[in-house]
Structure 1
Amino acid sequence: MNVPRLGGPTLSLFRIVIGLLFTLHGLTSVFGLFGGNPMTGEAIALGTWPGWWAALIQLVCGTLVLAGLFTRPAALLASGSMAYAYFVVHQPDHVLPLRNGGELSALFCWSFLLVAALGPGSWALDNLLARRRDVRSVPAVPVAEPGSMVV
């Protein structure tokens, strides 16, 4: 088994799954889909701090990470929002995530930090856009006319 050959696709699959799960949390809280917010069963009221803004970050960053577009900044913002959720919402109740209900925040925080550090993997829109940019930025090489001297 060639681990480096599988590294890019494996990281891509990890990013896709984490992005999808985060997006689903955002859809649940912003629009009330899939049974709504786990606490109330409804969408979070527009503009409510910090819940609605956190849900918006989940929706936008989760979608970007899922697609592999602006992956590193989106993953870094998502990681930071989950660190905030852990330390402000969960950690005051108890130090251990198992006791304070913060396991999901901690897992998302570290998962997104990993994606921000390692990048999107091989299957990402970021890579496709980078290749297109590289093709456009290659300067055209002048071709000499037959019989002319090139200095």
Structure 2
Amino acid sequence: MNDRLNSAQPYALGLFRIVTGLLFACHGVSKLFGVLGGETTAPASWPGGISALIELVCGTLVMIGLGTRAAAFISSGAMAYAYFSVHQSMGLWPLENSGESAAMYCWAFLLLVFTGSGALGVDRLFGGRADAPAQQAERTDLTPAQAG
């Protein structure tokens, strides 16, 4: 059972990345264009417009799996900033201050910083650079007889 789940892990991570990036990008679209129930924010305004641009651009990059770790790092930081600058002043717990989505996005993107894009990402098309650390770690576990 564990072997099956372990073999599916890159695909589950890829789907997690796609859904998280899509939902995050939708927040940006909502704020920038006033669709999906949102109100329009000027793109150059601070912090609303800048956060909307980060949500749209980084969410799209995470969704397609291009520069996933960098985009996820920026997104995680933006959501941490949003939580502590906007929500924290309204109460200690995310349920009290309506900061659940900011907290969840922050931790979800931080996870992607450390795991990478998983399967189904554009990063995989560029010579396996996304896999290089994992492949190097696998090679160091091999004995000389296994490696040759």
TM > 0.5 between the two? yes
Spell out the pairing of 1:24-63 with structure 2 (5 A cutoff): 24-36=26-38, 42-63=39-60
The code of the aligned residue for 1:104 comes to S
Structure 1 unmatched runs, 5+: 37-41, 133-151
Give how far 1:4 is off.
1.5
Instruction: Among all aligned residue pairs of Structure 1 and Structure 2, give the percentage whose two residues are the same amino acid.
Output: 51
Structure 2 unmatched runs, 5+: 130-148
- 2:74 aligned partner: 77
SS of equivalent to 2:89? coil
Distance in 2 of aligned mates of 1:118 and 1:88: 27
Task: Say which one has the larger Rg.
Answer: 1
Distance in 2 of aligned mates of 1:126 and 1:117: 15
Contact 2:43 2:53 (C-alpha < 8 Å) held by counterparts? no
Relative to total residues, which structure has the larger helix share, 1 or 2? 2
- 2:16 aligned partner: 14
Runs of 4+ residues over 2 Å off in structure 1: none
Give yes or no for the alignment of 1:93 onto 2:95: no
CA RMSD of aligned residues (A): 1.2
Distance in 2 of aligned mates of 1:63 and 1:81: 15
Normalising by structure 2, report the TM-score: 0.82
Number of residue-to-residue matches in the alignment: 127
Normalising by structure 1, report the TM-score: 0.81
